[in-house]
Structure 1
Amino acid sequence: MDIRPFNAAQSYASARPATQPDPDHAASGLRATFTDFAATLRQGEQIAQSAMVGQADPHALVQALAQTELAVETAVIVRNKVVEAYQEILRMPV
Protein backbone atom coordinates (compact mmCIF):
# COMPACT_ATOMS: atom_id res chain seq x y z
CA MET A 1 0.00 0.00 0.00
CA ASP A 2 1.42 3.33 -1.06
CA ILE A 3 0.81 6.07 1.51
CA ARG A 4 2.23 9.42 0.65
CA PRO A 5 1.71 12.68 2.51
CA PHE A 6 -0.10 14.20 -0.46
CA ASN A 7 -2.60 11.32 -0.63
CA ALA A 8 -3.17 11.47 3.11
CA ALA A 9 -3.74 15.23 2.99
CA GLN A 10 -6.09 14.83 0.06
CA SER A 11 -8.10 12.15 1.86
CA TYR A 12 -8.25 14.30 4.98
CA ALA A 13 -9.44 17.30 2.96
CA SER A 14 -12.23 15.27 1.36
CA ALA A 15 -13.37 13.92 4.75
CA ARG A 16 -13.16 17.26 6.57
CA PRO A 17 -16.62 18.62 5.58
CA ALA A 18 -18.22 15.58 7.23
CA THR A 19 -16.59 16.42 10.55
CA GLN A 20 -17.41 20.12 10.63
CA PRO A 21 -20.39 21.17 12.73
CA ASP A 22 -23.50 22.44 11.01
CA PRO A 23 -24.27 25.86 12.56
CA ASP A 24 -27.84 25.82 11.23
CA HIS A 25 -28.56 22.51 12.93
CA ALA A 26 -27.10 23.65 16.27
CA ALA A 27 -29.01 26.93 16.14
CA SER A 28 -32.30 25.22 15.31
CA GLY A 29 -31.85 22.72 18.15
CA LEU A 30 -31.16 25.48 20.65
CA ARG A 31 -34.04 27.53 19.30
CA ALA A 32 -36.37 24.54 19.67
CA THR A 33 -35.21 24.05 23.26
CA PHE A 34 -35.98 27.67 24.14
CA THR A 35 -39.34 27.45 22.37
CA ASP A 36 -40.26 24.30 24.32
CA PHE A 37 -39.22 25.99 27.57
CA ALA A 38 -41.37 29.03 26.83
CA ALA A 39 -44.30 26.82 25.82
CA THR A 40 -44.04 24.86 29.07
CA LEU A 41 -44.11 28.08 31.10
CA ARG A 42 -47.05 29.45 29.10
CA GLN A 43 -49.02 26.22 29.51
CA GLY A 44 -48.41 26.17 33.26
CA GLU A 45 -49.53 29.78 33.54
CA GLN A 46 -52.70 29.15 31.54
CA ILE A 47 -53.64 26.13 33.63
CA ALA A 48 -52.94 28.07 36.84
CA GLN A 49 -55.21 30.89 35.67
CA SER A 50 -57.91 28.39 34.74
CA ALA A 51 -57.62 26.75 38.16
CA MET A 52 -58.05 30.13 39.88
CA VAL A 53 -61.49 30.56 38.33
CA GLY A 54 -62.44 26.91 38.83
CA GLN A 55 -62.18 25.78 35.21
CA ALA A 56 -59.19 23.43 35.56
CA ASP A 57 -58.81 20.10 37.27
CA PRO A 58 -56.60 20.26 40.40
CA HIS A 59 -54.67 17.23 39.11
CA ALA A 60 -53.88 19.09 35.87
CA LEU A 61 -52.73 22.09 37.90
CA VAL A 62 -50.35 20.00 40.01
CA GLN A 63 -48.99 18.30 36.89
CA ALA A 64 -48.46 21.62 35.08
CA LEU A 65 -46.74 23.12 38.12
CA ALA A 66 -44.43 20.09 38.37
CA GLN A 67 -43.53 20.39 34.69
CA THR A 68 -42.88 24.10 35.07
CA GLU A 69 -40.75 23.54 38.16
CA LEU A 70 -38.70 20.90 36.34
CA ALA A 71 -38.20 23.19 33.34
CA VAL A 72 -37.07 26.11 35.52
CA GLU A 73 -34.71 23.89 37.55
CA THR A 74 -33.20 22.56 34.32
CA ALA A 75 -32.72 26.08 32.98
CA VAL A 76 -31.03 27.15 36.23
CA ILE A 77 -28.69 24.14 36.12
CA VAL A 78 -27.74 24.87 32.51
CA ARG A 79 -27.18 28.54 33.34
CA ASN A 80 -24.94 27.60 36.27
CA LYS A 81 -22.88 25.26 34.08
CA VAL A 82 -22.45 27.99 31.46
CA VAL A 83 -21.34 30.48 34.13
CA GLU A 84 -18.89 27.93 35.56
CA ALA A 85 -17.44 27.28 32.11
CA TYR A 86 -17.09 31.01 31.48
CA GLN A 87 -15.35 31.52 34.80
CA GLU A 88 -13.02 28.63 34.04
CA ILE A 89 -12.13 30.19 30.70
CA LEU A 90 -11.39 33.50 32.44
CA ARG A 91 -9.01 31.70 34.82
CA MET A 92 -6.97 30.23 31.95
CA PRO A 93 -3.56 31.82 31.43
CA VAL A 94 -3.16 33.59 28.13
Structure 2
Amino acid sequence: MGSIPAATAASRYAATALGQPGDGTPAASGEGAQASGFGALLERAMSATVEAAKASDRAAMEAIAGGGDITSVVTAVARAELALQTTVAIRDRVIQAYQDVMRMPI
Protein backbone atom coordinates (compact mmCIF):
# COMPACT_ATOMS: atom_id res chain seq x y z
CA MET A 1 0.00 0.00 0.00
CA GLY A 2 1.33 3.45 -0.93
CA SER A 3 1.87 6.23 1.51
CA ILE A 4 -0.08 9.48 1.20
CA PRO A 5 1.88 12.66 1.97
CA ALA A 6 0.85 14.24 5.25
CA ALA A 7 -0.30 17.50 3.65
CA THR A 8 -2.52 15.63 1.19
CA ALA A 9 -3.97 13.45 3.94
CA ALA A 10 -4.62 16.49 6.13
CA SER A 11 -6.37 18.40 3.35
CA ARG A 12 -8.48 15.39 2.40
CA TYR A 13 -9.42 14.83 6.02
CA ALA A 14 -10.35 18.46 6.49
CA ALA A 15 -12.42 18.41 3.30
CA THR A 16 -14.20 15.25 4.43
CA ALA A 17 -14.82 16.66 7.89
CA LEU A 18 -16.34 19.78 6.34
CA GLY A 19 -18.45 17.81 3.84
CA GLN A 20 -16.47 19.05 0.86
CA PRO A 21 -15.06 17.13 -2.11
CA GLY A 22 -12.05 14.99 -1.22
CA ASP A 23 -9.70 16.45 -3.84
CA GLY A 24 -8.14 18.86 -1.36
CA THR A 25 -9.63 22.00 -2.95
CA PRO A 26 -11.94 23.87 -0.61
CA ALA A 27 -15.47 24.42 -1.83
CA ALA A 28 -16.97 27.89 -1.83
CA SER A 29 -18.75 28.81 1.38
CA GLY A 30 -21.77 31.04 1.61
CA GLU A 31 -20.73 32.25 5.06
CA GLY A 32 -17.66 34.09 3.75
CA ALA A 33 -14.06 33.12 3.72
CA GLN A 34 -12.99 30.60 6.32
CA ALA A 35 -9.74 30.98 8.18
CA SER A 36 -6.92 29.39 6.28
CA GLY A 37 -3.57 28.07 7.26
CA PHE A 38 -2.21 25.10 9.07
CA GLY A 39 -3.52 26.18 12.47
CA ALA A 40 -7.05 26.52 11.15
CA LEU A 41 -6.74 23.12 9.48
CA LEU A 42 -5.70 21.54 12.76
CA GLU A 43 -8.51 23.28 14.60
CA ARG A 44 -11.10 22.01 12.13
CA ALA A 45 -9.62 18.51 12.24
CA MET A 46 -9.78 18.44 16.04
CA SER A 47 -13.35 19.73 16.02
CA ALA A 48 -14.34 17.06 13.52
CA THR A 49 -12.67 14.38 15.63
CA VAL A 50 -14.50 15.52 18.75
CA GLU A 51 -17.82 15.64 16.87
CA ALA A 52 -17.26 12.12 15.52
CA ALA A 53 -16.59 10.86 19.05
CA LYS A 54 -19.73 12.58 20.33
CA ALA A 55 -21.80 11.07 17.50
CA SER A 56 -20.38 7.67 18.36
CA ASP A 57 -21.34 8.11 22.01
CA ARG A 58 -24.86 9.27 21.08
CA ALA A 59 -25.37 6.27 18.77
CA ALA A 60 -24.13 3.86 21.44
CA MET A 61 -26.36 5.37 24.12
CA GLU A 62 -29.33 5.26 21.75
CA ALA A 63 -28.68 1.56 21.04
CA ILE A 64 -28.32 0.80 24.74
CA ALA A 65 -31.67 2.50 25.35
CA GLY A 66 -33.18 0.29 22.65
CA GLY A 67 -33.75 3.04 20.08
CA GLY A 68 -30.94 2.46 17.60
CA ASP A 69 -29.67 -0.33 15.44
CA ILE A 70 -26.26 -1.95 15.69
CA THR A 71 -25.27 -0.93 12.15
CA SER A 72 -25.44 2.77 12.97
CA VAL A 73 -23.45 2.21 16.16
CA VAL A 74 -20.71 0.30 14.36
CA THR A 75 -20.58 2.91 11.60
CA ALA A 76 -20.35 5.78 14.10
CA VAL A 77 -17.65 4.04 16.11
CA ALA A 78 -15.65 3.27 12.95
CA ARG A 79 -15.86 6.91 11.86
CA ALA A 80 -14.74 8.11 15.28
CA GLU A 81 -11.86 5.64 15.28
CA LEU A 82 -10.74 6.72 11.80
CA ALA A 83 -10.94 10.39 12.75
CA LEU A 84 -8.86 9.78 15.87
CA GLN A 85 -6.26 7.73 13.97
CA THR A 86 -5.98 10.48 11.35
CA THR A 87 -5.61 13.17 14.00
CA VAL A 88 -2.91 11.17 15.80
CA ALA A 89 -1.06 10.58 12.51
CA ILE A 90 -1.11 14.30 11.74
CA ARG A 91 0.07 15.12 15.25
CA ASP A 92 2.92 12.62 14.94
CA ARG A 93 4.00 14.14 11.61
CA VAL A 94 3.95 17.65 13.07
CA ILE A 95 6.05 16.56 16.04
CA GLN A 96 8.48 14.75 13.75
CA ALA A 97 8.80 17.85 11.54
CA TYR A 98 9.41 20.04 14.60
CA GLN A 99 12.09 17.68 15.86
CA ASP A 100 13.73 17.63 12.42
CA VAL A 101 13.81 21.42 12.36
CA MET A 102 15.28 21.55 15.86
CA ARG A 103 18.07 19.15 14.81
CA MET A 104 19.08 21.30 11.83
CA PRO A 105 22.46 23.00 12.20
CA ILE A 106 22.36 26.77 12.26
Distance 1:28 1:85 in 2: 18
Q: What is the Cα deviation at residue 80 of structure 1?
A: 0.7
Q: What is the Cα deviation at residue 55 of structure 1?
A: 1.5
SS at match of 2:47: helix
Distance 2:51 2:73 in 1: 15
How many matched pairs?
Answer: 71
Query: Gaps spanning 5+ residues in structure 1: where?
Result: 1-23
Indicate the RMSD between aligned Cα atoms, in angstroms: 1.6
2:78 aligns with one of 66, 81, 91: 66
Determine which structure has the larger helix proportion and give its number: 1
Greater RCO (Cα-Cα under 8 Å, separation 6 or more): 2
Distance 1:81 1:28 in 2: 17
Normalised by the length of structure 1, the TM-score is: 0.65
Stretch moving more, 37-46 or 69-78: 37-46
Q: Is the alpha carbon distance of 1:59 and 1:71 closer, same or farther for their aligned partners in structure 2, counting shifts above 3 Å?
A: same
SS at match of 1:25: coil
**Counterpart position of 2:67:** 55
The letter for the 2-side match of 1:25 is: S
Identity %: 30
**Counterpart position of 2:50:** 38
**Counterpart position of 2:97:** 85
Q: How do 1:22-37 residues align onto structure 2 when only pairs under 5 Å count?
A: 24-26=35-37, 28-37=40-49
Q: Is the alpha carbon distance of 1:82 and 1:28 closer, same or farther for their aligned partners in structure 2, counting shifts above 3 Å?
A: closer
Greater C-alpha radius of gyration? 1
